Amino acid sequence: MFDKLSRSWHLVKASAGVLRSDKELLVFPVISAVASLVVAATFLLPMFGAGLLEGDDVGPVTGVLLFLFYLCQYFVIFFFNTALVGAAMIRLEGGDPTVADGLRIARSKFMAILGYAAIAATVGLILRSLQERAGFLGRIVVGLLGMAWTFATFLVVPILVSRDVGPIDALKESVTLLKRTWGENLAGNVGINLAFGLLTTAVVILGIALVVGAAMVGGATLALVVAAFAVVAVAFVAVVQAALSGIYSAAVYRYAVDGQAPEGFSGGELQDAFRQK
């Protein structure tokens, strides 16, 4: 466990070095988050207002609307993640990417991203349906299936960026590369998520303490101001995590294909992440 945490910390530092070189990479997860909120508001608020999300049974109208919601949501996420990974690839190859470069790459993969979003939306809707019908143990199984899907698709976006293939071929190649390198264990990716999960928890706890203290000292107005800063801090941590994860996935794909650690990553650190189990 300590080896995994240590390795993950080294990967976070290496990814952070790339991010420090191109801070504009943070723009992509910010735009993605804002666009995702717009999509959620566009679909979910009217559905709540119409009472379509009440009860466990999903009718045909609700099912179609949920699929369209998943489709749009996943498309937004994958589009800007593709832009992020594309820009990160340019940096890892020694270039100096801009936000326009990332968006250009994402636009060139529009149809592939849409197809991948349709596949992900279908899987997401199926998992949601199974989770609603499953008992306690069933929900755990469905959660594990969702985690397996996340792991299996980890390299899809870097593959779409690097190669002229469709979403199905990208999925197949992602699974093949994972089998060849990590097997079933994505220690590095899990470690990054764990590290930022702990950081987010710490920020939330500190934020709550500061809000309570501000309320006791300065009243409701000061407490609201402090709460707003705390929310911004949590959002910033999430943005940095998304950017680092995108950089990490780009580096992992290059290493899996070329067998060489990209600039800014030591071979030993990535070699541990790819260690056969």
Q: Provide the pLDDT for residue 186.
A: 60
Q: Provide the pLDDT for residue 34.
A: 94
Contact 4, 187 (CB under 8 A): yes
State how far the Cα of 42 lies from the Cα of 47, in Å rounded to an integer: 9
Contact 89, 246 (CB under 8 A): no
Contact 202, 161 (CB under 8 A): no
Q: Provide the pLDDT for residue 185.
A: 43
State how far the Cα of 105 lies from the Cα of 166, in Å rounded to an integer: 15
Q: Which residues of the chain have pLDDT under 70?
A: 1-12, 55-59, 180-189, 259-277
Q: Provide the pLDDT for residue 215.
A: 85
State how far the Cα of 109 lies from the Cα of 173, in Å rounded to an integer: 17
